[in-house]
Amino acid sequence: MSDLGHVLVLAGGVSFEREVSLASGRRVAEALRNLGVDVELVDVDAHLLPRLVSEPPSAVFVAVHGIEGEDGALRDALDLSGVPYVGATGAAARLAFDKATAKAIVARAGISTPASVALQHAAFRDLGGPVLLDRVVGRLGLPLVVKPVRGGSALGVSVVRDASELPQAMVGCYSYDTVALLEQCVAGTELAVSVVDTGDGPVALPAVEIEPVSGAFDYAARYTAGMTEYHAPARLDASVATKVAEVAVTAHRVLGLRDLSRTDLIVTADGEIEYLETNVSPGMTATSLLPLAAAAADIDLGALCRDLLQHAATRGMSAPGAPA
């Protein structure tokens, strides 16, 4: 049996990504249980905080996706409860979760990212949506990717190749968030690069190359077996593989993240690397990218999650106010 003590895996909640989160949580809990860890899967609800206070676990693994798991509020609540957890702090999670903010931060670090414009729903409505869209197309050109500034699993994301498609894309996007990010669509190889840190500093796992059968890495392509072909490690020249790893680690550092993250990138035909976004609560399902990367590195998923929990528990013991 593990000497980690009793740990919780938090999943579920009420965000649009609830079902994916529950699948992630179940897989993490099972992988830990297989190593003898005393683990319990907990659906996030109003009973969570009273339970954490009355029965504090050794550490918590956050497998909650979407706003509930990545906007920082849950992490702040865990900090207030004195419960150590795997992953970014609330403040860092908020920065990374907002794609426009994250792009600005990594761009200042010298990382290339596609040009984009963020439009709040109120401004789009009150300032004249059609005129704004004309200006966006004039500045960024076509095709464009329209996506919620805050959100994941490709929900509300559209690729727009003709200006006539933009209004409908905006409606779909605003159904998931009040701010839409309109971004130049960059052609190339889509990659996901996971970064983990179990106490010795952040290290990039092998990049995973994403090749959707339909050509679009949408919700169905992400979570339906057989709809996407993954190459782990990605089919990259050694020099490019080194560069994408450096970009992912740099993004992890400048966004102030810890423990684990996943950065999505595009590598163009001429080898240029374009940053898209960073996820602070990567999926852990059977088709998710971090587990694929861990397998490519010969790292057992359960052992990785256990080590991350142990690192969090140790960090918690050294935090101000921790038991002597």
Spot the catalytic one: 277, 302, 306, 316.
277
Per-position DSSP letters for 79-100, written without gaps between them: HHTT--EES--HHHHHHHHSHH
Whether 38 is catalytic is no
The answer to whether 17 is a known catalytic residue is yes
Query: What kind and span of H or E run contains 222?
Result: helix 219-223
Distance of alpha carbon 246 from alpha carbon 118, whole angstroms: 27
For this structure, is 34 an active site residue? Answer: no
Active site residue 283: yes
Residue of 13, 66, 87, 283 marked active site: 283
Q: Is 277 a catalytic residue?
A: yes
Q: Where are the beta strands (DSSP E) in the chain?
A: 7-11, 39-43, 59-62, 85-86, 116-120, 144-148, 158-160, 179-184, 189-196, 203-204, 208-212, 228-231, 260-267, 273-279
> Of residues 70, 71, 209, 264, which has the active-site annotation?
264
- Active-site residue, 223 included: yes
- Is 71 labeled as catalytic in the residue annotation? no
Catalytic residue chosen out of the listed positions 21, 153, 158, 194: 153
The single residue of 17, 71, 98, 218 carrying the catalytic annotation is: 17
Contacts of residue 324, Cβ cutoff 8 Å, sequence gap at least 6: none
Give the active site residue among 262, 281, 306, 316. Answer: 262
Start-to-end C-alpha separation, the chain = 25
Q: Is 190 an annotated catalytic residue? A: no
Q: Which of 15, 24, 116, 279 is catalytic?
A: 279
What are the catalytic residues?
17, 153, 223, 262, 264, 277, 279, 283
